[in-house]
Amino acid sequence: MSSLSKEFLTSSIRRFRYYKELGDKTFEQLNDWDFHYQPNEESNSIAIIIQHMAGNMLSRWTNFLKEDGEKEWRQRDDEFEIHEYSKDQLLKVWEKGWQCFFNTMESLTKKDLKKTVHIRKEPLTVVDAINRQLAHYPYHVGQIIYIAKIIKNNNWKSLSIPKGNSQTYNNSTEIKDPAKKLG
């Protein structure tokens, strides 16, 4: 694998692991009820976002190189319905989606990056499909964190640089890029 191809895959996987970790650290701060809180009728709960992300991951990354990423068996509309899943059930759904995703990402080769895949019959290079998800998944993880911060309010434990500590963080000698700490 060329060094650029290897770096792209390694960097992408590292970034995805970082965003998954942000979700995991958010979930540690929440109880069962918190997962079902909706700020209003048009907003999704954390549970719904988890259902959607896992559904997307399973559909997109199952037989990624051979089948359209929008599988016939996917029930996308159902992902946005309220289900009475417990925190434990939701975490299992979350893990199942990520496991499918990481299994596929870690199996990709240099030659695979040049291939074309399809999502809803639209052709995309593998690189573009990865970049598409690198925008999609962090978008939803950000929503999860935002909802959790609303719920936890003053009890929220910061996942990044706490307010008022930027200078201390910048002056430290540790690795600044949190995703690199996972590598």
pLDDT tens readout for residues 75-104: 999 999 999 999 999 999 999 999 999 999
| CATH code of the domain in which 70 resides | 1.20.120.450
Domain that holds residue 75: 3-182
Task: Using CB atoms within 10 Å of the CB of residue 108, give its burial: 0 to 12 exposed, 13 to 18 middle, 19+ buried.
Answer: buried
At 180 the pLDDT is 65
Give how many domains the chain has, as a whole number: 1
Give the containing element (helix H, strand E) for 118: strand 116-119
Phi-psi region of 120 (alpha: psi -120 to 50; beta: other; left: phi over 0): left
Structure tokens of 84? 């009475």
Q: What string of pLDDT tens digits covers the 183 residues of the chain?
A: 568 899 999 999 999 999 999 999 999 999 999 999 999 999 999 999 999 999 999 999 999 999 999 999 999 999 999 999 999 999 999 999 999 999 999 999 999 999 999 999 999 999 999 999 999 999 999 999 999 999 999 999 999 888 888 888 888 877 767 766 665
Tell me the C-alpha distance between 168 and 183, whole Å: 24
At 183 the pLDDT is 58
At 153 the pLDDT is 96
Tell me the C-alpha distance between 62 and 55, whole Å: 11
**How many residues are there in the chain?**
183
- Torsion of the alpha carbons at 77, 80, 86 and 87, rounded to the nearest 10: 120
